[in-house]
Structure 1
Amino acid sequence: MADNIHPLALVRGAWGMTGVDLARGICAAAERRGLRSGVDKQRVRKWEVAGVRPDRESQEYIAEVFGVPLENVDVGSWPNWLPDVGVVRLGPASTVPALREALRASMDRSRRTILSAISGTALITLAGAWASTDTGPQVLERVQGKGVGEGLVAVLEETSARLTTLATRERQHTAPLIDAHLATVTDLIAEGRYFPALGLRLHALAASLAQTVAWHRFDHGRHGEAGRFWIAGLHSAYASGDHDMGAALLSDLAYQASWRNDPRTAARILERALTRTRHPAARSLLHLRLARALAAQGERRATLRALSAAELLLGVPTPDPVPAWCSWLSEADLAVDSGQSLSDLGETRRAHQLIEEGQNLLPPSRDKTRGVFLAYRAKTHLDRGEPDVAAAAASKSLDLASRIGAPRCVELVRGLVPRFEAFSDAEGVPELLVKAAV
């Protein structure tokens, strides 16, 4: 039955609006332009029930009501540009609804909204709202519910940190524990009694756990779930006033968009995230991901500017500690992602050198990253017409992925299979094709 509900009615309902509320919002948007709109609840009903398409002006007013940038309004694709129902608006009390939306979505994968990743329009709109809202911590004292003790929060912080810093081959077994920690923290935020200082720690923990859960879902190709957990983490960071953590979660959403071949969305999210990121290491990582998104669009000059900024910012001395979410960023990551950007721009020789250099710099503890780097290296060897060497790198990536449980590496290598099939007689390629098919 829900599949037959018009998307406008779904969005309106998710925002708690009646048809009258939406009509009033449209009329108010027209008035702000010095114009008048004749939209009323009957007109809204025609759009939602009779399938009548709103005219250009009305679609622009609808976009303003729901906070969608005008450049994202494609009149001809109505109603596809409307924001996703599952994206909770940022607000003073939005953390718990966003966390519970992500947790519910993860438990019930049969829901229609979980079948695909969140639209680029919704993500850009959310990033714009975050970037344009200048607010400090919003966590207030909660005076109702069962008391939450500092000892309990300390235990949750300690165990969460230990679970999330295990080596990849161990973390593949801990996903249910991390999920359970996030569910517990969500309940404490929603139902516990605590002072603001403890509430801030709970929100910070929720943001960190949501980010970890999202990456686990992303690694296993569950993109709709991953996006909702990153968004839930963004709400938590927003409530605690942690701009760098908020930028981190937007950056992760952008990384996902690039992975899903939507570099335009990725770049626009990152541009907004950079407006409020302060720590040099955090800004370096965002510029590096921006470079990847720009290179995928063939924007050479902008890509080189972003790479230069990432290199300059990495290692800039600062009295503030490096945020945990980007403490792993190193010269190895800078070299490999720079190489990937140059590869997308057609500079194959230099790209190959940088990727090889980055792989050599990578510490032994980062096995999953090594598997990803090996897949990148396989691609550059194919670009250079070296299928035998490419097959060796891809085979190592698959072996590593199998040992530590890293399905994203497998996905990268399998994406190269069509190119390897053109070299089926080259040394190592037949064996790789068999291994990739398993």
Structure 2
Amino acid sequence: MAENNHPLALVRAARGMTGVDLAREICAAAERRGLRSGVDKQRVRKWEVTGVTPDRESQEYIAEVFGVPLENVDAGSWPSWLPDVGVVPLGPASTVPALREALRASMDRSRRTVLSAISGTALITLAGAWATTDAWPEVTERVQGKTIGEDLVVLLEETSARLTTLATQERQHTAALIDAHLATVTDLIADGRYSPALGVRLHALAASLSQTVAWHRFDHGHHGEAGRFWIAGLHSAHAGADHDMGAALLSDLAYQASWRGDPRTAAQILERALTRTRHPAARSLLHLRLARALAPQGERRRTLRALSAAEHLLGVPTPDPVPAWCSWLSEADLAVDSGQSLNDLGDTRRAHQLIEEGQILLPPSRDKTRGVFLAYRARTHLDLEEPDLAAVAAAQSLELAQRIGAPRCVELVRGLVPRFKTFRDAEGVPELLAKAAA
């Protein structure tokens, strides 16, 4: 059977919906307006397979099903207004659809090809919408559903914090628990009865858990899933009017874009994220990531300006507590990422010095970051044609990553293997190649 690539079919499949499911949801949308719709699975098939255009009313119902604001619906341009697969547009009551989209996608790994389809254009558009749109009054008093009390929210907050702050070596075993916490919080937001204050805390918890889940997926190479969880967290943070957290999630999406070789998209996302970021430490991290996105593009002046801003902001005193998502940022990270940026600009010797300095400054507790830094150090040793020293750093990185369960770090080292093969006779290189191939 030929694959159905119609935009409606792709969006429907990404939501885990059959044609029958979509028809049922459309009819329910009509009923909420006191109207009736005659849409059934045969009508959905006509839209997706034979090219029939839904009438204006049906398009409005489809928009409601997928969380698209009505002002974005242009009936004459069907189906171009449909959301990109995996990107639920920001809008009233969009938090739960975004969270459930991420959770559904994660449960069905067989859709991996579809899950990788979020485009840079869609992410830039989402970042632009976040930067220019105030939060809707989504976090209001809920008067229907089962009552949610303070004790339950406190329990979820405390256990989630405990799970996400475990050492990396232990955290590799907690992914299923964190997923379950996020699913529980999503159901509470959707179906519970709670005060506005508890609603804000539930949305903040959903944003934080989404970010943690996303990084776990990213570290394991599940980029489509990671992107959806970051997007879901963005919806949650936006609903709670937490601009710094929203900027954090956009920054993570930008980091992923840089990692996957799309620094142009990363830079555009970060430029939009910086428009609403307030805390100096948060702005420092975003400027540092902006430098990392600009440097591969050869933007020397802008890169140095971003690095200067990151360095200045990191030391700015403020009475406000540092957001938890960037509390780890330190002089070590500044040094290493500055080094990486300078290396991309061709200043290899200075880059290597900064990476070595950062590795020395890094606290012992940050094992995963140490593994990444060692891989960066191996790269600059290779750039300086010091393969024996590069092999030592790469072997240390690989051993550490395998011990603590950090597959992204393993990927970094294995990405250097082709370069090591040109130095097969150098001391330590044959042993490294054998370890990397194991």
Q: Where do 5+ consecutive residues of structure 2 fail to align?
A: 16-21, 24-45, 53-69, 74-78
Q: Provide the residue aligned with 2:274 in structure 1.
A: 274
Q: Provide the residue aligned with 1:335 in structure 2.
A: 335
Q: Provide the residue aligned with 2:437 in structure 1.
A: 437
1:262 aligns with 2:262: yes
Q: Provide the residue aligned with 2:35 in structure 1.
A: none
1:319 aligns with 2:348: no
Q: Where do residues 27-66 of structure 1 align in structure 2 (5 Å cutoff)?
A: 49=50
TM-score (norm 2): 0.84
Query: Secondary structure of the residue that 1:234 maps to in structure 2?
Result: helix
Q: Provide the residue aligned with 1:125 in structure 2.
A: 125
Shift of 1:110: 1.2
Deviation readout 1:75-105 (Å, 9 max, x if unpaired): xxxx999852221111120010000000000
Equivalent AA in structure 1 for residue 291 of structure 2 = A
Shift of 1:138: 3.0
Contact 1:230/1:252, CA 8 A, preserved across alignment = yes
In 2, distance between residues paired with 1:49 and 1:290? Answer: 45
RMSD: 2.7
Q: Provide the residue aligned with 1:406 in structure 2.
A: 406
Contact 2:83/2:89, CA 8 A, preserved across alignment = no
Contact 1:332/1:358, CA 8 A, preserved across alignment = yes
Shift of 1:4: 1.8
Q: Provide the residue aligned with 1:349 in structure 2.
A: 349
Q: Provide the residue aligned with 2:222 in structure 1.
A: 222
In 1, distance between residues paired with 2:404 and 2:195? Answer: 41
Deviation readout 1:158-181 (Å, 9 max, x if unpaired): 000011001100100111110110
Q: Provide the residue aligned with 2:62 in structure 1.
A: none
Deviation readout 1:392-411 (Å, 9 max, x if unpaired): 00000001001110001100
Q: Provide the residue aligned with 1:142 in structure 2.
A: 142
Deviation readout 1:274-322 (Å, 9 max, x if unpaired): 0000000000000000000000111101100000000000021011000
Equivalent AA in structure 2 for residue 181 of structure 1 = H
Query: Secondary structure of the residue that 1:3 maps to in structure 2?
Result: coil
Q: Provide the residue aligned with 2:382 in structure 1.
A: 382
Q: Is the deviation greater in 137-146 or in 305-314?
A: 137-146
Q: Provide the residue aligned with 1:194 in structure 2.
A: 194
Q: Provide the residue aligned with 2:59 in structure 1.
A: none
Q: Provide the residue aligned with 2:284 in structure 1.
A: 284
Distance 1:145 1:358, change over 3 A: same
Distance 1:299 1:80, change over 3 A: farther
Identical counterparts, % of pairs: 84
Shift of 1:135: 3.3
Q: Provide the residue aligned with 2:40 in structure 1.
A: none
Q: Provide the residue aligned with 1:152 in structure 2.
A: 152
Query: Secondary structure of the residue that 2:423 maps to in structure 1?
Result: coil
Equivalent AA in structure 2 for residue 366 of structure 1 = R
Contact 2:250/2:270, CA 8 A, preserved across alignment = yes
Contact 1:81/1:121, CA 8 A, preserved across alignment = no
Deviation readout 1:40-68 (Å, 9 max, x if unpaired): xxxxx9998579xxxxxxxxxxxxx9979
Deviation readout 1:118-164 (Å, 9 max, x if unpaired): 21111111101000103376301111111001000000000000110
TM-score (norm 1): 0.84
1:425 aligns with 2:425: yes
In 2, distance between residues paired with 1:140 and 1:357? Answer: 49
Shift of 1:112: 5.7
In 2, distance between residues paired with 1:162 and 1:47? Answer: 46
Q: Provide the residue aligned with 1:75 in structure 2.
A: none
In 2, distance between residues paired with 1:91 and 1:118? Answer: 19
1:109 aligns with 2:106: no
In 1, distance between residues paired with 2:198 and 2:48? Answer: 47
Distance 1:402 1:112, change over 3 A: closer
Contact 2:85/2:118, CA 8 A, preserved across alignment = no
Distance 1:239 1:2, change over 3 A: farther
1:207 aligns with 2:207: yes
In 1, distance between residues paired with 2:416 and 2:394? Answer: 9
Q: Where do 5+ consecutive residues of structure 1 fail to align?
A: 19-44, 52-64, 69-78
1:93 aligns with 2:82: no
Q: Provide the residue aligned with 1:61 in structure 2.
A: none
In 2, distance between residues paired with 1:14 and 1:101? Answer: 7
In 2, distance between residues paired with 1:137 and 1:176? Answer: 32
In 2, distance between residues paired with 1:193 and 1:377? Answer: 52
Distance 1:143 1:288, change over 3 A: same
Contact 1:164/1:171, CA 8 A, preserved across alignment = yes
Q: Provide the residue aligned with 2:171 in structure 1.
A: 171
In the alignment of these two chains, the number of paired residues is 390
